């Protein structure tokens, strides 16, 4: 029996060799938004991991939209040049397609790197002012963001459009918009963080207004044959927050706006709220969105084995599966997953000696 996980999938004008995706993982190793030699090593390694698609970490559309001083951006010519150099090398020597997750951190910006504490920057750490739909801090002690005006929304929307143009010039095969994890567009969508009383707050239709306007504006400059996706929240894991039904409604609206797929994640909207910790905890959310919205869906969240990923795709719960820590732990996770599932995966010529046809008996995955 052939593997569902290692079957190809067309998305817009791009055909992915398989359904296994490297999820975006912040590395906090950029220089004023510009990718560094670390990214050359990190993404070069993942280009030959066996995944059909690698998503570059949250890549910010404004300097003050970065999570930390070390976060990647696409807001300057220098950023575009640096990231384009990395992607050109990774695509020249790698087998995977490459996507980018465009983001604005909103009230979670101006933060420390995880290994520096992972909370808000102190005044002596070159902190900056943050923005959000409402003047509510992420958690105790965090900066209070400034409530965004319509002029702010126009500027940020234009920044997403400009970053999308830069991403296309940099050679990305796919673009996605970050609407989850408590960052700017998620905070518009969630009633926990959005307390506005104007046309951008209150009802779900109003809370979706700004994120949908960003999606529409980006779609207008991204050719139809280039996949455009969004990472959305399936649940805020707190009463009064986003529900799976609202996630379905958002996915339907994004599909109407021209978005080709959604990645269903969850949580992160405010400090003190904890996600479930079970394997594949977001998969039921992804399945609900796939069935309810009729859009291609990617599942993510503690997906750690080949068998687990295969079941998600084969049973129709999602069209794609993304993993993060599994690839950091095993940079050839895709090769080993394919071996486990008796499937084939592309291996660079320089490494063919470890392919099953050339190495017998092959080691266990």
Q: Give the catalytic positions in this structure.
A: 183
Q: Locate 148 and state its tokens.
A: 């965004």
Name residues whose C-beta falls within 8 Å of residue 118's C-beta, 6 or more positions apart in sequence: 111, 112
Q: Is residue 210 classed as helix, strand or coil in its secondary structure?
A: helix
Q: Identify whether the C-beta of residue 114 lies closer than 8 Å to the C-beta of residue 73.
A: no
Q: Locate 78 and state its tokens.
A: 């220098």
Q: Identify whether the C-beta of residue 60 lies closer than 8 Å to the C-beta of residue 73.
A: yes
Residue 20 CA to residue 13 CA, distance in Å, equals 18
Q: Identify whether the C-beta of residue 319 lies closer than 8 Å to the C-beta of residue 9.
A: yes
Residue 282 CA to residue 184 CA, distance in Å, equals 21
Q: Is the dihedral of CA 59, 24, 331, 2 positive or negative?
A: negative
Angle at CA of residue 322, ends 318 and 325, nearest 5° = 145
Name residues whose C-beta falls within 8 Å of residue 205's C-beta, 6 or more positions apart in sequence: none
Q: Which helix (H) or strand (E) holds 60?
A: strand 53-60
Q: Locate 132 and state its tokens.
A: 């959000």
Residue 21 CA to residue 231 CA, distance in Å, equals 13
Question: Among residues 323, 325, 294, which one has the least CA distance to residue 309?
Answer: 323
Residue 35 CA to residue 89 CA, distance in Å, equals 13
Q: Identify whether the C-beta of residue 82 lies closer than 8 Å to the C-beta of residue 97.
A: no
């Amino acid at each position: 029996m052939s593997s569902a996980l290692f079957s190809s999938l067309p998305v817009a004008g791009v055909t992915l060799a398989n359904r296994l995706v490297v999820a975006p993982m912040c590395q906090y190793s950029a220089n004023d938004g510009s990718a560094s030699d670390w990214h050359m090593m990190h993404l070069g390694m993942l280009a030959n991991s066996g995944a059909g698609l690698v998503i570059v970490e949250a890549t910010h559309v404004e300097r003050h939209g970065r999570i930390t001083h070390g976060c990647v951006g696409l807001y300057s010519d220098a950023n575009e040049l640096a990231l384009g150099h990395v992607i050109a090398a990774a695509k020249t020597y790698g087998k995977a397609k490459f996507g980018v997750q465009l983001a604005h951190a909103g009230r979670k910006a101006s933060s420390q790197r995880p290994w520096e504490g992972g909370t808000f920057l102190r005044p002596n750490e070159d902190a900056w002012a943050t923005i959000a739909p409402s003047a509510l801090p992420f958690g105790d002690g965090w900066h209070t963001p400034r409530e965004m005006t319509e002029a702010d929304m126009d500027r940020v929307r234009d920044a997403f459009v400009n970053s999308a143009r830069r991403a296309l010039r940099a050679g990305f095969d796919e673009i996605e918009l970050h609407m989850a994890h408590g960052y700017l567009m998620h905070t518009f969508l969630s009633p926990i963080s959005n307390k506005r009383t104007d046309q951008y707050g209150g009802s779900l239709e109003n809370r979706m207004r700004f994120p949908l306007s960003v999606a529409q504006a980006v779609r207008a400059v991204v050719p139809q044959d280039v996949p455009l996706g969004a990472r959305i929240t399936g649940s805020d894991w707190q009463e009064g927050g986003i529900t799976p039904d609202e996630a379905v409604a958002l996915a339907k609206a994004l599909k109407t706006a021209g978005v080709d797929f959604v990645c269903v994640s969850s949580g992160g909207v405010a400090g003190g709220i904890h996600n479930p910790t079970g394997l594949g905890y977001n998969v039921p959310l992804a399945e609900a969105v796939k069935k309810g919205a009729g859009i291609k869906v990617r599942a993510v969240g503690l997906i750690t084995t080949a068998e687990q990923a295969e079941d998600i795709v084969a049973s129709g719960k999602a069209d794609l599966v993304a993993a993060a820590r599994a690839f950091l732990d095993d940079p050839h996770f895709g090769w080993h997953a394919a071996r486990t599932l008796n499937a084939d995966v592309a291996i660079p010529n320089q490494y063919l000696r470890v392919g099953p046809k050339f190495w017998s008996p092959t080691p266990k995955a």
